[in-house]
Amino acid sequence: MLGQFIEEVYLLASQARSEGEVPVASMILEKVDSTYRFLCSSTNRIVTQADATSHAEMNCIKEACRIKKNERLIDCIMITTLEPCLMCTGAIILARLSRVYYFAPSMKGIGMSKIVNNPELNKGLNHKTELIFLEEEFPRASQMISSFFLAKRQNIQNSLTDRASGKQ
């Protein structure tokens, strides 16, 4: 069911990487009868828009709400390369997305799983979003994200070495 959409999310993440963004992409699908159809997609735009809140999930939710002319995304699901952060989790719950599929867990900060799987925090939520970790996608997604940061660290190291040796 999700196969073709998963590949499209990876392509978007690669595009974000080529633009200097962390390779995170999200897509929202709308349930129509017994199937899902594409509604919208987005990538991280934190660097390109100089906006700390311009996460792929936030951008995608805003676009989907605009398209549907409604702040509620009932009968919609999200596919995302990285587990949503605390900010995006709040937006996902407020938008009433029914389900979120993610490829790689958040290794830093508080990810969505820590909210929805915590009975104390979860009992106060006005909407329950199902969170599904697509383990089979983890190696590929994890490699994409970690290689981005490795290259970024190497570029920084090379710049520091060039400056120290007088090259610029």
Mean pLDDT is lowest, of 18-22, 96-100, 160-164, for: 160-164
Q: How crowded is residue 91: how many other Cβ atoms within 10 Å of its Cβ?
A: 19
Q: Encode pLDDT of 65-87 as tens digits.
A: 999 999 999 999 999 999 999 99
Contact predicate 60/41, CB 8 Å: yes
Active site residues: 57
Q: Tokens for 59, please give them.
A: 């951008």
* Amino acid at the residue 158: N
**Unique residue bearing structure tokens 């605009």:** 66
* CA 13/CA 45 separation, integer angstroms: 11
Question: What confidence tens digit (pLDDT) does each residue in 78-123 have?
Answer: 999 999 999 999 999 999 999 999 999 998 878 999 988 888 887 8
Determine contact, residues 112/100, Cβ cutoff 8 Å. yes
